[in-house]
Amino acid sequence: MLDLLLQTGLNALYSASYISLVAVGLVLIFGVMGIVNFAHGELFMAGAYVVVALYSGFKLPYLLVAAIGLIFVGCLGLLMERTMFRPLRTNPLGGLVASIGFLMILQALASMTFGVRMAFVPPVTQEVIEFSERVRLPVQRLYVILAAFGFLTLLWLFLTKTRFGWALRASAQDPEAAALQGISINQTAKIAMFIGAALAGIAGVLTAPLISVNPHMGHSVIIAAFIVAIVGGVGSLEGAVVASVAYAFVHTFVTTFFDGVIADITGLSLMLIVLIIKPTGLFGTADRA
């Protein structure tokens, strides 16, 4: 029994890692631009297909593919900012609708280029760390955990220790007051979109060898990310990380001991309970909700 608990805990830690990468990007974009990016799951998918194309296809080294995936998906974010969100700056509903359109375009492009069926990604490593006979951690999963930890730490350092980080947070809290300090919303929007998209992309790159890569893979992760963003308190990055961990643990444990559908229901129910008790989410403040 202890083995099972430990094993499930490791699985949960792995889920928490990639969900938090996706959710933090979603929250960052919402915080700075006030737009709910429905295409965020498809940015995750795009990262996975970079692996399909360059790692499965062209057999480039995985680390190089990861770097390319990060930058490529970050640039998709810049493209979205420039072509959709900037012209729709004063129209958050328009931005939301445009992001749904972008979601469909990315899905269609993936289907046309790679087919609708699951794409094959060869394992990056077959190694498994065996803590005991029944507590095992595949090294690829360890990579996901470590990378999430690393990228979230980098993001935190960027946001708290650099002038562009302060600018990003200032502009999320009060865009007009930020403009009075010389911080242009176009500039911070670009940074937020690049980082947010790149984090989703790297999550896709990291998980591609571990999950089913297909044009619709963004769905389940975006639902998890939405729940986590809402529970954490929309606009709170710390909240998103804490809620990712909580959600992943609940979801993974319920899946293991009951089944996946019950886990989804439990996740949504917990979100409702949190919202009833604290409508602004765990870490949220009233003004952005």
Partner 1 sequence: MLLEMKGAAVDYGRVSAVRDISINVEEGSVVTIIGGNGAGKTTTLRAMSGLARLSRGEITFDGKRIDNLPADKVVGLGMAHVPEGRRIFPDLTVEENLRTGAFLRRDKVAVAADLDKIYAKFPRLKERRSQWAKTMSGGEQQMLAIGRALMSDPRILLMDEPSMGLAPVIVEEIAVIIEELSAQGMTVVLVEQNAELALELADYAYVLETGNLALEGPAKELHDNEHVRAAYLGI
Contact between 163 and partner 1 by CB under 8 A: the answer reads yes
The span from the first CA to the last CA of the chain, in angstroms, equals 42
Residue 178 sits in the site that holds partner 1 (CB under 8 A): yes
The residues facing 137 across adjacent strands are 129
Minimum distance from residue 179 beta carbon to partner 1 (Å) = 4
In this chain, which of 86, 136, 169, 216 binds partner 1, going by CB under 8 A?
A: 169
- Using rule CB under 8 A, residue 183 touches partner 1: yes
Least distance in angstroms from the C-beta of 156 to partner 1 = 14
Query: Which of 113, 125, 153, 285 is close enough to bind partner 1 by CB under 8 A?
Result: 285
Among 166, 211, 266, 270, binds partner 1 (CB under 8 A): 166
- Rounded Cα distance between 232 and 237, Å, is 8
Decide if 197 contacts 25 (C-beta within 8 A): yes
Residue from 52, 65, 70, 167 binding partner 1 (CB under 8 A): 167
Q: Name residue, tokens 């998918």.
A: 45
184 forms part of the interface with partner 1 (CB under 8 A): yes
State in angstroms the smallest separation of the CB of 29 from partner 1.
17
The residue from 2, 58, 126, 182 that contacts partner 1 (CB under 8 A) is 182
CA-closest candidate to residue 121, choices 194, 73, 60: 60
The answer to the question of residue 286 lying near partner 1 (CB under 8 A) is no
Determine if 60 is a binding residue for partner 1 (CB under 8 A). no
Choice between 170 and 250, CB closer to partner 1 = 170
Distance in Å, CB of 176 to partner 1, minimum: 6
Closest contact distance (angstroms) between CB of 166 and partner 1 is 5
Say whether residue 174 binds partner 1 (CB under 8 A).
yes
- Compute the C-alpha angle 138/142/144, nearest 5°: 120
Q: Which stretch binds partner 1 (CB under 8 A): 118-126, 141-149, 179-187, 208-216?
A: 179-187
- Taking each helix axis as running N to C, give the angle between helix 237-257 and helix 139-161, from 0 to 180 degrees, rounded to the nearest 10: 160
Instruction: Indicate which single residue of 60, 71, 145, 170 sits in contact with partner 1 (rule: CB under 8 A).
Output: 170
Instruction: Tell me the C-alpha distance between 18 and 225, whole Å.
Output: 10
180 scored as a contact of partner 1 (CB under 8 A): yes
Instruction: Tell me whether residue 3 or residue 174 sits nearer to partner 1 (CB atom).
Output: 174
3-state secondary structure 209-269: CCCCECCCCHHHHHHHHHHHHHHHCCCCHHHHHHHHHHHHHHHHHHHHHCCHHHHHHHHHH
Residues in contact with partner 1 by CB under 8 A are 163, 166-167, 169-170, 173-174, 176-185, 285
